[in-house]
Structure 1
Amino acid sequence: MSRIVKNPCKGKQARPWRAEFTQGSGSHRMRICRVFDSKREAQGWLAETVATHARNQYFSRDMLLADYLKVWFALFKKGVAPATKATYTATRKHVQNYLPTLTLADLSRVVIQGYFNALGRNHSIETLRKDLVHLRTALADAVADGVIPHNPTQRIRLVANTKHTRGKDKKIMTKAQYQAVRDRLMNQELSTKQIPLIVLAVICQTGLRVGEALALREDDVDVSQRLLRVDESFDTCTRDLRPTKTANAVRDIPMTSQLVTMLTSWQKMHDEWLAKRGIANPKRLLFLMGNGELPRATSVNYYYHQLQKKLGFETFFSTHTLRHFLVSQMIQNPSITLTYVSRFLGHSSEAITQQYYLGLIPDEIEGQRSQVANVIAEI
């Protein structure tokens, strides 16, 4: 029986936790033991060992789909970012809740379609899409390994309850809304008491992801070239600086003269404030707070919602809508190529940019409609 117990060995060098993996019986019994500094490390090692050695279970068609997803993730998705891991865990939990007794042998396109129909009653279309991608990838491996004869996730139609899905009017703000947010942020009085507002100012002028903005260091601000270097991201889950989402996300972003002026003033104020409080900043982080930590992404979003409330917005947007708006404007400018827009965003390919950002913003639709009518009339 595999288990995790307190390490019976004593002494300064002894580690407090012991994990024991056991398989088989009698002369065929296999036992592997390891010691660890924490229970979490022991649990991680044991889960991986069980997944690696349980070949009979892994290749069994009688295995529950939820169990298969757990083993598959442990084997093939080791080392992914915590935020990504959370999405896979969410998919497995959905399967456990909606298909608790479904085995790999019982899989069919009808069953999978029914699953997504049921899931769509309580979840957004974005959640459905993530679940479908995860299931499709995991079951493609099951086909390749000979566990199941075909992948039942092909030709699945996703329909979500509209109340759980954000419409386009909630994803892309109007010009007037963006300008109101920008003017308030760029004309604010700099204050070390409201660091998330400085972060928002950077996002509204650069379209950075929140994690990318939070990870900025003083050396990333190139005043002479008016460029902002992006080569890290702050993971709120682990509170660590990590590499960017993809290799393409390492990039230089052009800054407006107003943003350069703001960041120059902010850097001086920030350095003096930290020094006065005796707070070390060895990584020269641009947005280090008084407690020696960076703000959480949720805190930045909270400040953004409060700002919109003060501006009288009926719909509260997420910080990502600032990114959406800027890109919508770039795409409509004929002098800016889609290739550059893709690089500006840090996307891994132009196809991703085309998929998400080729829509028009709401307050320009009427003008486009008139132009289209005129073109048709002149044919």
Structure 2
Amino acid sequence: MSRRANGEGSKPVKRKDGRWAVSLRYIDPDGLAKRSTVYGKTAKEAREKAEEARRRVKRSQPPKDSRVVLGAFVEEWVASTLAVSDRKASTKAMYATLARKHVVDSDLGRSALDRVTPRKVEAWVADLRKKGLSESTVRSTYTVLRAVLDTAVRDRALGENPAAVVRRPKVTTKEANYLTVDEVETVLDAAEGSRYAPLFRLLVNTGMRRGEALALRWSDVDLTNRTLRVRGTLAREHGQLVVTEPKTAKSKRTLFLTDESVEVLHAMRERQRVERAEAGSMWVETGFVFTTEFGQPSDPRNALRAFKAATSRAGIAGAGLHTLRHSAASVLLAKGVPLKVVSEILGHSSTAITGDVYGHVSPDVAAEAMRTLSTALSA
């Protein structure tokens, strides 16, 4: 008898349980000889399933999808694929939480991989929305599921990713909340006396993110040439304050310092000189610009608490430290600074993001623009 070709199956055989079975021998993409068996209620059904299995083998896919439960596969993904990825530690922690809370603990998560279909993924997304989760959380959780199923395809547990054909949940872009120039001064005045007042002034004068400013080291600052380099972001991970890579590739940037910013940084250097002398042997030299009284990096949470206290004294509600960044961007745009320049100052990955987040235009600026248009047309 001649040897059967790759993917060729046996003739349907009726089993004792009444089902019909067809066995296939094939060589997987790694060159290993494998066997797979498909079943049907009738000989015809078994042959049809065998034919589909052959087509999948020819596409270098597994002859049939795995019956491993999705939730179990997710747990393995968290412990292996996610753990060794080059994502930030904070992102890994967030993805692991989303995976366990919204994928493993769901009807979809209790389904076998071969039962996960695009329609079931869509129903799962609808359930996430019914729970009242934010748009960004729904999209992030979908991103996690898609990454998990991509791994299943890579590992040949699935032939195709059923989530890949499901439209990615959208997030409605909201314009950033910002303060007027007068409100900024009111808040900064209310913060005077706080250890974090210099940080607030630097943020609003540079448009930096909180973590970027707190990650600054004196080696990043050139007061002679009035520049500073943004090279990282300070955040708390696993209970420790660490400097990680910036949010985007374009977040690494050089900023030019205004007179106000130079004054702030000179004051910070002098304050550190005094505190270093007072702390004596208890001082820890870390090189950070913003530190505790003993030289350790400042905690972002403490900075936020201090800012909230200042806004409360100023009678301004709903403002956070990011509001200072938004306020700086709004002033730049209102003064006619080109969108591309503002985008580079803020470290956005594209001008589209800048335009979406800072699409607002003050009534005065809009009115002046219309007057300019009218003058030009009537000239």
Decide: shared fold, TM above 0.5: yes
SS of alignment partner, residue 87 of structure 2: coil
Q: Give the secondary structure class of the aligned counterpart of 1:263.
A: helix
Match of 1:298 in 2: 301
- Cα distance in 1 for partners of 2:319, 2:242 equals 26
**Quick check: 1:126 aligned with 2:136?**
yes
Q: Quote the offset at 1:264 in angstroms.
A: 0.4
- Say if 2:174 and 2:357, in contact at 8 Å, map to a contact too: no
Choose from 96, 99, 105 the match for 1:97.
105
Mapped partners of 2:331, 2:261: distance in 1: 19
Tell me if 1:149 matches 2:160.
yes
Asked if the contact 2:209/2:322 (under 8 Å) is kept, the reply is: yes
Q: How has the CA–CA distance of structure 1 residues 62 and 201 changed in structure 2, closer, same or farther, with 3 Å as cutoff?
A: farther
Counterparts of 2:364 and 2:334 in 1: how far apart (Å)?
Answer: 15
Task: Give matches, 1:1-379, under 5 Å.
Answer: 61-77=66-82, 78=84, 79-92=86-99, 93-99=101-107, 100-120=109-129, 121-146=131-156, 147-156=158-167, 158=169, 168=175, 171-176=176-181, 179-182=182-185, 184-185=187-188, 189=192, 191=193, 194-237=194-237, 238-278=240-280, 279-314=282-317, 316-331=318-333, 334-338=336-340, 340-347=341-348, 349-350=349-350, 353-355=351-353, 357-360=355-358, 364=362, 368=366
CA distance 1:330–1:363, change in 2 (3 Å):
closer
Structure-1 separation of matches of 2:159 and 2:68: 11
The CA RMSD over aligned residues, in Å, is: 3.5
Q: Which amino acid aligns with 1:64?
A: V
Higher CA-based Rg: 2
Change (3 A) 1:153 1:196: farther
CA distance in 2, matches of 1:370, 1:244: 37
CA distance in 1, matches of 2:126, 2:188: 43
The one-letter code matched in structure 1 to 2:137 is T
Could you tell me whether the CA contact under 8 Å between 1:229 and 1:253 is conserved in 2? yes
Residue 243 of structure 2 aligns to a residue in which SS?
strand
Cα contact 1:207–1:326 (8 A) shared by 2? yes
TM superposition shift of 1:268: 0.4
Question: How far apart, CA to CA, are the structure 1 residues paired with 2:225 and 2:186?
Answer: 24
Between the aligned partners of 2:235 and 2:255, the Cα distance in structure 1 is 21
In 2, the alpha carbon distance for the partners of 1:197 and 1:97 equals 45
Gapped regions of structure 1 (runs ≥ 5): 1-58
Return 5+ residue gaps in structure 2 as ranges.
1-63
